Amino acid sequence: MSFFRDFLKMFKKREITLIESYKESDNVYSFLFEKDKGVSWLAGQHGLFSILHKKIKNPLKPFSVASAPSENVIRLTMAIGKEPSEFKQAMLELKPGMKMNMTGPVGTFQLADNSPAVLIAGGIGITPFRSMLKQLEAEGKGNGQPVHLLYLDSGKSYVFQEELDALAEHPSIHVSYLDSREMLEQELLKLSSQFKDSGKFYVAGPKSMVESMAAFLQKHQIPKRNIKKDSFFGY
């Protein structure tokens, strides 16, 4: 049934209107769009977004929706460096009232019910996890099965840190800020030993990081069926 819903969503394109945009950190920006009636998604899903205000070579890109379904905005948060791609330069040109196209959101990168969860975020891979954790809070499920967020950022910028710290006040939500691969692997060894086959592991971030973390987990007896991956590509 979920596949059928996603299939239909892929044919439904809608315009979304920018409310505001702002810088989260030195190279991370958030863009908040109006959420019209009829727009829905599941926490962790991604949409396809296209530039409308100018012609560029590749106007369509996928991004996770960083806002929870319970929030009143569609939030896109992305890394934009000093030499941005044509797409991201066009994003920086957006002003309140300007529009983009959105298709979806779709995807199966979602929390499983009633299973301990380990969320592994690499850099801007934090975006789907913000959506998941904010939705848990909105649904009053912050006191349910344990959820451990392992947030790896070698630059220690940790986007959404204030929000994540507030979410971590819930008894079952735990947040660890890590700045090295070694620290991440140590935490994963502890949690994989603690949860064994009952835990679900979710990995989001750059493709190379996602693949290496999935291989590390399988090497340490985490079944492939218990690992979900969401790779982010540079634009």
| CATH code (residue 183) | 3.40.50.80
For residues 133 and 96, membership in a common domain is answered with: no
Residue 195: in which H helix or E strand, if any? Answer: helix 181-195
For residues 42 and 134, membership in a common domain is answered with: no
Q: Helix, strand or coil for residue 219?
A: helix
Residue 11 falls within a domain, yes or no? yes
Number of domains within the chain: 2
For residues 132 and 171, membership in a common domain is answered with: yes
Q: At what angle do helices 181-195 and 207-219 cross, to 10 degrees?
A: 40
For residues 149 and 201, membership in a common domain is answered with: yes
Residue found under tokens 């810088």: 23
- Per-residue pLDDT for the chain (235 aa), expressed as one digit of tens each? 454 455 455 557 899 999 999 999 889 999 999 998 889 999 999 999 999 999 999 999 999 999 999 999 999 999 999 999 999 999 999 999 999 999 999 999 999 878 899 999 999 999 999 999 999 999 887 667 899 999 999 999 999 999 999 999 999 999 999 999 999 999 999 998 888 788 999 999 999 999 999 999 999 989 999 999 997 765 4
For residues 226 and 162, membership in a common domain is answered with: yes
**Of 106, 129, 146, which residue sits at a domain end?**
106
Domain range for 34 is: 2-106
Q: Are 52 and 4 in contact (CB under 8 A)?
A: no
What whole-number distance in Å separates Cα of residue 95 and Cα of residue 77? 16
